[in-house]
Amino acid sequence: MARKVVIAGNWKMNKTASEGKALVEALKETTKGICPNCADIIVCPPFTTLVSVIEAAKGSNIKVGAQNIHWADNGAFTGEIAGNMLKELGVEYVIIGHSERRQYFGETDETVNLRLKAALKNDLKPIVCIGELLEERESGATEKVLFTQLDGGLKDISAADMEKIILAYEPVWAIGTGKTATPDIAEETHKYIRSFLADKYGKEVADKIVIQYGGSMKAENAEALVGQADIDGGLIGGAALKADSFTALIENAIAGAKNK
């Protein structure tokens, strides 16, 4: 079955409010020719850049996501942001459990699960990240690691809610390193993730879930990656920070999807 291509730019800790506005204004021009039904285009700026980006994206096909969400509705959680704060701004998506959050900020499968439930409660579309470390891949533990992340991260999530979730498979060894998983390796892993979903939710639900690839994805490899049966788009770091490179990547991903 055909799933829509979904390309999200994770800007990470880059772009001030004015820089973000300028990037979205440039993207509005460069992505004008991309048919809205061919791909969902999402940008995920830092919290402080959300307002200017949401304003700049109005009237375009560019959708906006945040990079994190706290699980509580409000309270004594210094430095955190709640779901209703994002929703009120007009945020549509939220990245949860990125490997940098897991690596540097103590994110666990349990906190991923709590944040995921908060996103769903606030009617935000979650992009849940999973992925193995280099030593885990090299020791043959990839599927075990992904099983644990999926099992914990998706705990108590119903099939109806699962259909609202995007998964992003990001092998940690491929993030920001220039080392992309080959299309075959990425596809093999995506296939495993979809088989996990089929076991838990049934094939019909599993076939609907968008699974993005992330990790050194760029215009040059987007067509081959998204040309794979189970790769439905990308979560993009470095290549999302410039309008030209992000647009070329989206166009090539759409071309890849057409080759399936």
Q: Which residues bind ligand 13P (CB under 6 A)?
A: 10, 98, 170, 175-176, 214-217, 235-239
Q: Quick one: 214 or 227, whose CB is closer to ligand 13P?
A: 214
Q: How far is the CB of 158 from ligand 13P (least distance, A)?
A: 26
Task: Name the active-site residue from 98, 100, 223, 251.
Answer: 98
First to last CA, the chain: 10
Distance CA 237, CA 118 (A): 25
| Known catalytic residue at 170 | yes
- Residue 17 tokens, joined: 């409010």
Q: Quick one: 201 or 226, whose CB is closer to ligand 13P?
A: 226
Q: How far is the CB of 85 from ligand 13P (least distance, A)?
A: 22
Q: Quick one: 201 or 221, whose CB is closer to ligand 13P?
A: 221
Position closest to ligand 13P via CB = 237
Q: How far is the CB of 40 from ligand 13P (least distance, A)?
A: 16
Task: Name the active-site residue from 107, 170, 187, 223.
Answer: 170
Task: Count CB atoms within 10 A of the CB of residue 138.
Answer: 11
Q: Quick one: 176 or 202, whose CB is closer to ligand 13P?
A: 176
Q: How far is the CB of 61 from ligand 13P (least distance, A)?
A: 21
Which residues are known catalytic residues? 98, 170
